[in-house]
Amino acid sequence: MTVIEDPVAPTLATPVRYANWTPIVLGAVIATAFSSILLAFGATIGLGVTSAAPTWRDASAALAILSGLYLIIQAAISFGAGGYIAGRTRTAGVASQARDIEQRDGLHGLAAWALAVMLGALLAALVGSAALTRSNSTLPAARTSAAEPLLSYEIDRLFRPARRAPNADLTSERAEAGRILLTTSSHSGISSEDRAYLAQMVAATTGLAGADAEKRADTAIANAKTAIDRSRRSTVILAFSVAAALLLGAVIAWAAAAAGGRHRDGAPMPHWLGGMR
């Protein structure tokens, strides 16, 4: 009896490669590209959890929910496409590995999902770093404030005079007032000392009388608290939507990679997919 050895069968000298990185990288790049395109399209048509208006008055609950759903849908499409490509282009291996082929396909889809998430986070970090570098890059710490641009409109109204000298520089005053207004979101709220000092700044800058300056400061404090609360709610909704989209994307990437592997091998689809080939 003659025994014919399979030339592609794994041996002790040639260990089996569990991960094929070319399909993983290909699926991750495709998923990142799809996600970037869909996110840009959503931003173009006005879908955003946050508002473009500095007062946050446009960040309605309906817009936030619709934007969150769009984030989830685009993640399903992007990671589904990337996972399918990772599973479809993966080398299936030899017949002795047939029992775990679907599991390996799914793991390749999950790896493509993880790499796509890291690529997306890297792109977002680069864009955010570039934006921070362009804004207030040459100003000292005393002339900058985290309140810009969140409370820029409230600060504008706070220091709006009836008549202003030309080329008046209020950068330091705006930064200090912004830091004071940010304390309105704390548990204890703005202190009476800060409120009195803010009213003095308004009176000295705008020339308003003491009572009018205090009234304007109180209005700015109330508006700043409302703007910060809306910003916080929008941030929570955005973070929850992103987390839900990424978790759902992981599941879809696994399932899509398994489907891609079945198409690669000519196997029937599971019953929940209608038996498609």
Q: What is the pLDDT of residues 100-112, one digit of tens each?
A: 788 888 899 999 9
Do 193 and 119 lie in one domain? The reply is: no
Instruction: Give the chain's domain count.
Output: 2
pLDDT at 49: 53
As given in the structure block, the two tokens for residue 158 are 């706070």
Is residue 104 within 8 A of residue 93, CB to CB? The reply is: yes
Task: Report whether pLDDT(31) > 90.
Answer: yes
| Domain coverage including residue 212 | 141-227
What is the spatial distance between Cα 190 and Cα 182, in angstroms, rounded to a whole number? 8
Do 149 and 184 lie in one domain? The reply is: yes
Element (H, E) at 76: helix 61-88
Q: In this predicted structure, which of 45-54, 99-108, 112-121, 225-234 has the lowest mean pLDDT? A: 45-54
Do 151 and 79 lie in one domain? The reply is: no
**Other CB atoms within 10 A of residue 204 CB:** 11
pLDDT at 247: 93
What integer is the mean pLDDT of 230-240? Answer: 81
What integer is the mean pLDDT of 39-63? Answer: 64
Is residue 33 exposed (0-12), middle (13-18) or buried (19+ Cβ within 10 Å)? middle
What is the spatial distance between Cα 122 and Cα 115, in angstroms, rounded to a whole number? 11
What is the spatial distance between Cα 127 and Cα 36, in angstroms, rounded to a whole number? 13
Looking at the chain, the whole-number percentage of residues with pLDDT higher than 90 is 21
In sequence order, the 6+-apart residues with CB closer than 8 A to the CB of 76 are 245, 248, 249, 252
Do 164 and 252 lie in one domain? The reply is: no
Do 107 and 26 lie in one domain? The reply is: yes
Element (H, E) at 226: helix 210-265
Looking at the chain, the whole-number percentage of residues with pLDDT higher than 70 is 71
Q: What is the mean pLDDT of the chain?
A: 78
As given in the structure block, the two tokens for residue 23 are 């399909």
Q: What is the pLDDT of residues 114-162, one digit of tens each?
A: 999 999 889 888 876 665 555 554 555 555 666 677 788 888 888 887 6
Q: Kindly list the distances between the CA atom of residue 14 and the CA atoms of 7, 9, 20, 98, 219, in Å, as whole numbers in the listed order.
A: 11, 9, 15, 18, 75
Most confident of 15-29, 101-115, 172-186: 101-115
**Other CB atoms within 10 A of residue 207 CB:** 13
| Residue that wins the pLDDT comparison between 53 and 237 | 237
Q: How confident is the model at residue 12 (pLDDT cuts 50, 70, 90)?
A: very low
Q: Kindly list the distances between the CA atom of residue 76 and the CA atoms of 23, 240, 247, in Å, as whole numbers in the listed order.
A: 19, 16, 10
Do 175 and 209 lie in one domain? The reply is: yes
Do 28 and 112 lie in one domain? The reply is: yes
Angle at 89 between CA 109 and CA 31, to 5 degrees: 45
pTM: 0.69
pLDDT at 95: 45
What is the spatial distance between Cα 28 and Cα 176, in angstroms, rounded to a whole number? 45
Nearest Cα to 115, choosing from 28, 37, 30, 31? 28
Q: In this predicted structure, which of 30-34, 54-58, 202-206, 259-263 has the lowest mean pLDDT? A: 54-58
Exposure pattern of 245-267 as b/e (b: 16+ CB <10 Å)?
bbebbbbbbbbbbbbbbbebeee
Instruction: For residue 7, tell me if it sits in a domain.
Output: no
Do 65 and 200 lie in one domain? The reply is: no
| Residue that wins the pLDDT comparison between 4 and 79 | 79
pLDDT at 34: 92
Do 64 and 189 lie in one domain? The reply is: no
Do 69 and 97 lie in one domain? The reply is: yes
